[in-house]
Structure 1
C-alpha cells in the first residue's frame, strides 16, 4: 500500500522518513503507477472545497527541476486560466466565477530526459523542502478578495522523464483515485502543463521520440480531447526579449514550431506573458551566481522567494563547484 502523504499543517521536516520511503518506493519500481503524493492540502484532493458544476476539473501542473524554484516559477504557478485558454472556453468553464484552476500540482521527476543529477545540485529531498516552502506563495485567485484563500495544491514525485508519459501516468492516477472513492463526485481531468520556452523546445524535439512521426503520434494523444486523448494542454511562458507572436509566428524557430502547428492552431499549445521583470529568471542563473559570487551575495537572492533563499543559505546549497579543476 502507498504511504500516506503529509497534509496541510504538517511540518515537512517531521515527515522526512516518510518522504525518503516514498522516494525509495518510486526509484525502485514499487509504485504503480510510478507516482507518489508527498503533500496534500486535504484528503479529497484534487476536488476543491466547493466542487464545480462542470464535468471537467481543471488541474494546473507545474513540472520543473525546482533546483531551486524561482520567482519565474512562481509567476507561472499563479497564472490564471483566462490568460491561457481561449476566451469562449474560459467563459464556459468559469461562468459567474473568478477564473481559477480547480487544483494545482507541483511535480518533481526523479528521472529527467536530459537533466541527470549533477554534483553540487540540491538532492531530491532538498528540492521537495524548497517546493513546500515555495508552495506557500502560490495563490488560489490573483484577486485581493481571495488573497487569503489557500490554493488546492499538492506536491508529488514521479518516475517518468517525458511530458507525454507524465500526462498518461497522471490520468491513470486520477482515474484510480475516483474509482477508489465512489462516494465522491466523478470528474474528467484536464491537465494544464505550465512550462518555459526552453522546455517547450525539448517537448517538440523528434529525437526524444525516435522520429518525427512518432513524436506527432505521441503529441496527438497527449494534447487531444478524451476519451481518445489525454486531454492535456501546454501553456508556455514567452522568453525574455522574445520576438514570438501569440501564435509563435515569424520566429527563428518557425521550422521546428511548424511541426506542431496543428496544436498551436487548436489552442492546445499556447504562449503567455509573465511579469517582464522575472521573465528571464532561471534556476541555472541562481546556481551559477552563487558559485561565482558566493552565498553572501545579494545578486541571486532577488531571483527566488525570500524564504527559499533562507533555506538555500541554511543548507549551503550550490556554493561548491560541481566540476573543480584537478591538478
Structure 2
C-alpha cells in the first residue's frame, strides 16, 4: 500500500494518510457528510464570471472503481455550458439494499483509497475532483444533504451521473414511505434544487458482471438496458422528468460500459483460485480498471 501511496502527488498523499482517521471520526461522531479529499483547498475553484457552479456527482459503491466509472465521470452535459466546473465522488457508508456492506466487499477504507486513485487519474485531464463520505442511502436525500453542506462562490447545480441500473432503483417505490413521498422527493430534487440526472445506459450483462470479464463473448451492441426502457415506458413519474429535461440519457462507449465492479471481483477471485501470475493479473486488470487502481488491486488482495 505504501508503494501505491508514494505514486500520488503531495496533496493526495497527505489525504491518503488521513483517510483512516477521517473515516473513523465520521462514523464515531455520526456525521452525515464529510469531504476527505479535494484537488484544491478551496474546492470548487470557480472563475469570477461564474453565475452557477455545475458540479458532477458520481455516487457509487466503488467496489472497485472500473473503466465504466471513469467513463461516467467524463460524460458532459448536453445543454449549455456543456462542461462541469468540478466533480464530486460520493461514497455512502450505508446502502439502501446492502446496509453497511456484505462479506467479501472491499472495506470502506479500501474503497476510499481506490476513489482517491481514481480522482488522481481524472485530475490528469484537468478535472477538479473531491471525494466525500455520506451517511444517507437515497439519491434524493443525498442531494439535499449536499446543498446543505457544500459551499461555493456561485449557486450550485448538481448533475448526478449514474448507470441505468441505478436510475431504475431510484424510481422503485419500495425505497420510499409512499408514492406521495416519492413524488415530493422528485419535486424537491428536480424543481427546488434544480438537480439533474445524467444516465448512461448499461446492459443487464454488464450490470451482472458477464460482459466485463476478460474474454467475454457478449456482443458490444448489448449496451442497452431493457429495464431502463421498461421504466421509461411504464413509469409515468420517470417519464415525466425525462420529458421535462430532469433526466438525460447519454451514450457511453459500449467497450467502457460493459465493465462492472461485479466482473472485476469475479475475475480477481477466479485469478487467485487459478494461481494466475502477477504479470497476467496486471495485464488483465489494465483492460478493466483505471491504470492507477491496477497496482492496488494486484498487490493488496482486496477481494
Structure 1 partner of 2:156:
189
How many residues are paired up?
269
Q: What TM-score results when the alignment is normalised by the length of structure 1?
A: 0.75
Given that 2:62 and 2:261 are in contact with CA atoms closer than 8 Å, whether structure 1 keeps it comes out as yes
Measure the CA separation in 2 of the matches of 1:163 and 1:107: 11
Structure 1 partner of 2:195:
232
Q: Which of the numbers 29, 37, 46 marks the counterpart of 1:39?
A: 37
Measure the CA separation in 1 of the matches of 2:15 and 2:38: 13
Measure the CA separation in 2 of the matches of 1:304 and 1:75: 11
Structure 1 partner of 2:168:
201
Measure the CA separation in 1 of the matches of 2:22 and 2:259: 31
Structure 2 partner of 1:307:
292
2:27 aligned with 1:27, yes or no?
yes
Compute the displacement of 1:41 (Å).
Answer: 1.5
Measure the CA separation in 2 of the matches of 1:28 and 1:163: 23
2:73 aligned with 1:77, yes or no?
yes
2:276 aligned with 1:280, yes or no?
no
The 1:243/1:9 distance shift into structure 2, 3 A limit, reads closer
Cα RMSD of the aligned pairs, angstroms, is: 2.3
Q: Unpaired runs of 5+ in structure 2?
A: 1-7, 204-221
> How do 1:262-277 residues align onto structure 2 when only pairs under 5 Å count?
262-277=240-255
Q: Unpaired runs of 5+ in structure 1?
A: 1-7, 140-147, 179-185, 319-327
The 1:256/1:21 distance shift into structure 2, 3 A limit, reads farther
2:3 aligned with 1:18, yes or no?
no
Note the alpha carbon deviations across 1:276-307, whole angstroms, 9 max, x for none.
21111110111012112336445454111232
Structure 2 partner of 1:58:
54
Structure 1 partner of 2:94:
111
Compute the displacement of 1:68 (Å).
Answer: 0.5
Give runs of ≥4 in structure 1 deviating > 6 Å. Answer: none
Q: Which of the numbers 169, 188, 196 marks the counterpart of 2:145?
A: 169
Given that 1:289 and 1:299 are in contact with CA atoms closer than 8 Å, whether structure 2 keeps it comes out as no
Larger relative helix fraction = 2
Note the alpha carbon deviations across 1:99-141, whole angstroms, 9 max, x for none.
32111111111111113412221111111111111112225xx
Given that 1:62 and 1:107 are in contact with CA atoms closer than 8 Å, whether structure 2 keeps it comes out as yes
Measure the CA separation in 2 of the matches of 1:30 and 1:264: 36
Compute the displacement of 1:271 (Å).
Answer: 0.9
Measure the CA separation in 2 of the matches of 1:129 and 1:243: 31
Measure the CA separation in 2 of the matches of 1:20 and 1:28: 12
